[in-house]
């Protein structure tokens, strides 16, 4: 079936090589491409050889910077369809009508390794979805784990510098086993909940078709009346969640570094289309402060016992890209690509992301016009007053300013008529501070909750992972400090790790974990049965 995005892509396909001879970039047919133009058969190459110079020039510039994180990935096209209208919570057009399919492009990725690293490393996986909706592009830029390492985006450069290879020798390239990461972790206990996920089997998914996705932050739905509902997004794979075990993962790295990419590509080619259910935890705004953690803290989950996940619709990935570079490499996701009916919260990590993606893409994709690239282009009409810049491919006509009494090109302003995006009028009042409140200070309760929810063999895998990763750390004080941090989660975990890596078993930390709160939430408004 061809959807709107597919029809749009048709217009961008390069000329069919079977239909004519090799040409230069200027369309001039080439008589010969194997020998450069020289003086005699052994003479120097002539500057006059425009085909030779153009061919080399283009080759010399084939590379662009890889993504500063999530450099290695695999992508696919598909569609999303809602199960029923979500008008009760959001006016987003793509969540209204079950008979309307919205085209999507998804990119799965590892985070730490470079473009050429192996797939099956212990790492977080990116799960980024671009919905080409009738009201413009909506990007849900998520991961396969529901929490993140840090609470505030100002720490992201520090965190990534600690995660990335050691600066002096660029080792390791694709794993988390080195001193700087663990140094950062042991000094920043807000990382610990995510580190528990990272040491678990969730960090070595069997397949991109078999992993969950999470929006991580609390976002906001806005309905047609302008009423907001807080929302956490979840993707659930139809095939269930499956992981490799560590020995398998390591063997795969050697035998087939493209293990996850190949699996995605081959399953789509075989017609075994990956499918995921989009779900949402919906929280009435009046319940924002009814939890024992802060909903703006991305190191916390909202337990499903407290707020169940409501299924919204399904996504099917049914087409591989035609060109990895043009599509999977040049796709530009951005958390601030939202549509009417979906808005932000003040989560300080999300606020930082809303700056960072556009900023990095400006240089990664060579100037301000990357939204015109086929994979990034909305199917909704684009009418802006933005002009010129590197790689401008649109031929604009008329004027490009507003207000404008002369007409001749400037589009009308939609105004707040219910069709345009209007920012949610959240009421705010406060002093300017570089300070996070007490509601962000419990680093251990949810890490302990994660540990307590594990079966014995899952715990063993976590202990083994800590021993493997932390055991490679040279700095003894970093090993000791990390193990000391683990005592705040569980003494048995800390002792088991300590014994495996040759540090002293630490004394029991005196940490009181908060019990799972069961606040008097008004969830019945949202879920009917209050389940
Ligand atoms: C990619 C920044 C946190 C998910 C990126 C990129 C940057 C970035 C600069 C490269 C984008 C590009 O070159 O196109 C940040 C910052 C963060 C942050 C500053 C925190 C303040 C997160 C979180 C998630 C996430 C919490 C998940 C919820 C992703 C994904 C990609 C990505 C999936 C890859 C997108 C793709 O496939 O092209 N991030 N990130 N990031 N980030 Fe983040």
With a cut of 70, say whether residue 418 has pLDDT above it.
Answer: no
CB 75 within 8 A of CB 106: yes
| pLDDT for position 507 | 81
| pLDDT for position 97 | 98
| pLDDT for position 402 | 87
For this structure, is 488 an active site residue?
Answer: no
| pLDDT for position 523 | 42
With a cut of 70, say whether residue 174 has pLDDT above it.
Answer: no
Point out the catalytic residue in the list 137, 143, 337, 369.
143
* CA within 13 Å, CB half, 274: 33
For this structure, is 143 an active site residue?
Answer: yes
Query: Does ipTM exceed 0.90?
Result: yes
Ligand 1 centroid from CA 67, angstroms: 9
Render pLDDT for 19-44 as a digit per residue (tens, 0 to 9).
999 999 999 999 999 999 999 999 99
Q: What angle do CA 448, 488, 189 make, to 5 degrees?
A: 90
Ligand 1, CB within 6 Å, residue ranges: 67-70, 73, 107, 109, 126, 128, 141-143, 148, 153, 156, 216, 298, 331-333, 349, 352-353, 356-357, 360-361, 364
> Which pLDDT band holds residue 508 (cuts at 50, 70, 90)?
confident
Average pLDDT of span 303-320: 98
With a cut of 60, say whether residue 155 has pLDDT above it.
Answer: yes
| pLDDT for position 412 | 81
Ligand 1 centroid from CA 239, angstroms: 26
Question: Measured from the CA of 141, which atom of ligand 1 is nearest?
Answer: 33
368 C-beta neighbours (distance < 10 Å), count: 17
| pLDDT for position 392 | 97
3-state SS, one letter per residue, for 191-250: HHHHHHHHHCHHHCECCHHHCCEECCCCEEEECCCCCEEEEEEEEEECCCCCECCHHHHH
Point out the catalytic residue in the list 32, 51, 61, 70.
70
List the helix and strand counts (H, then E) for the chain: 13, 10
Whole-number average pLDDT of the chain = 94
Render pLDDT for 227-276 as a digit per residue (tens, 0 to 9).
999 999 999 999 999 999 999 999 999 999 999 999 999 999 999 999 99
With a cut of 50, say whether residue 524 has pLDDT above it.
Answer: no
Question: Measured from the CA of 359, which atom of ligand 1 is nearest?
Answer: 9
Assigned token pair, 389: 């810049």
């Amino acid at each position: 079936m061809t959807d709107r995005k597919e029809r749009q892509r048709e217009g961008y396909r390069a000329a069919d090589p079977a239909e004519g001879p090799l040409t230069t970039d200027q369309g001039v047919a080439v008589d010969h491409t194997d020998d450069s133009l020289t003086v005699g058969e052994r003479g120097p190459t002539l500057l006059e050889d425009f085909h030779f110079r153009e061919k080399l020039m283009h080759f010399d510039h084939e590379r662009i910077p890889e993504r500063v994180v999530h450099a290695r990935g695999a992508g696919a096209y598909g569609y999303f369809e809602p199960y029923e209208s979500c008008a009760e919570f959001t006016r987003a057009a793509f969540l209204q009508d079950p008979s309307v399919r919205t085209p999507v492009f998804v990119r799965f990725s590892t985070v730490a390794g470079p473009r050429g690293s192996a797939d099956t490393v212990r790492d977080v996986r990116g799960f980024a979805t671009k919905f080409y909706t009738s009201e413009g592009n909506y990007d849900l830029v998520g991961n396969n784990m529901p929490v993140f390492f840090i609470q505030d985006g100002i720490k992201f450069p520090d965190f990534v510098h600690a995660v990335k290879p050691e600066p002096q020798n660029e080792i390791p390239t694709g794993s988390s086993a080195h001193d700087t990461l663990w140094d950062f972790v042991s000094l920043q206990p807000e990382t610990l909940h995510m580190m528990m996920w990272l040491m678990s089997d969730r960090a070595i998914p069997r397949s991109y078709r078999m992993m969950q996705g999470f929006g991580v932050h609390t976002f906001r739905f806005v309905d047609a009346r302008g009423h907001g509902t807080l929302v956490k997004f979840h993707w659930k794979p139809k095939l269930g969640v499956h992981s490799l075990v560590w020995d398998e993962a390591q063997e795969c790295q050697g035998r087939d570094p493209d293990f996850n990419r190949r699996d995605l590509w081959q399953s789509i080619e075989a017609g075994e289309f990956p499918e995921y259910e989009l779900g949402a935890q919906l929280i009435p705004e009046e319940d924002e402060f009814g939890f024992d953690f802060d909903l703006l803290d991305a190191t916390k989950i909202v337990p499903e016992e407290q707020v169940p996940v409501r299924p919204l619709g399904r996504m099917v990935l049914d087409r591989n890209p035609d060109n990895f570079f043009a599509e999977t490499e040049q796709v530009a996701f951005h958390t601030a690509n939202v549509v009417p009916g979906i808005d932000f919260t003040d989560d300080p990590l999300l606020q930082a992301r809303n700056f960072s993606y556009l900023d990095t893409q400006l240089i990664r994709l060579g100037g301000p016009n990357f939204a015109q690239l086929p994979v990034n282009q909305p199917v909704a009409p684009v009418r802006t007053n933005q002009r010129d810049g590197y790689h401008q491919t649109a031929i604009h006509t008329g004027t490009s300013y507003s207000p404008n009494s002369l007409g001749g090109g400037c589009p009308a302003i939609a105004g707040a008529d219910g069709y345009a995006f209007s920012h949610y009028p959240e009421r705010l009042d406060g002093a300017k501070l570089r300070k996070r409140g007490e509601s962000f200070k419990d680093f251990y309760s949810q890490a302990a909750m994660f540990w307590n929810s594990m079966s014995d063999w899952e715990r063993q895998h976590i202990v083994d992972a800590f021993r493997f990763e932390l055991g490679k750390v040279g700095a003894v004080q970093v090993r000791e400090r990390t193990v000391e941090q683990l005592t705040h989660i569980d003494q048995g975990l800390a002792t088991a790790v300590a014994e495996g890596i040759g540090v002293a078993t630490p004394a029991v930390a005196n940490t009181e974990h908060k019990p799972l709160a069961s606040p008097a939430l008004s969830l019945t408004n949202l879920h009917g049965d209050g389940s």
